[in-house]
Structure 1
Amino acid sequence: MDKDRLIGSAKVVKGKVKAAVGKAVGDAKLEAEGQADKVEGKVQNAVGGIKDTIRDA
């Protein structure tokens, strides 16, 4: 498993937590940052998946 997949998954989790906290306290900026972290994590996870596929081929 590529390290990008691990880091990406961690960013997704971090983003979910950050977005939930931002929503709970009414902080739109924190919520938006959380959403951005989730997207960044999903992209990094996808890149890691592509690297794994290429390595296994």
Structure 2
Amino acid sequence: MSLETEHYCPDCESDVTFYRAASTHVHLGEKVKWHCTECDYGFVKINGNVDTSEA
């Protein structure tokens, strides 16, 4: 998995680059924390299926 991804940031109100802050394996799969390079907004993805980012 890459160290950066493009994603919508609700705080910046645009698509920005997020960096991979941390990752670990949990019983559901790989848990990855992403953080915006422009502000302090972050979200978590688990195994690519669970996404805590705002829609």
TM-score, with length taken from structure 1: 0.22
Higher relative contact order at CA 8 Å, sep ≥6: structure 1 or structure 2? Answer: 1
Which has the larger helix fraction?
1
Point out the structure with the larger strand share: 2
TM-score, with structure 2 as normaliser: 0.23
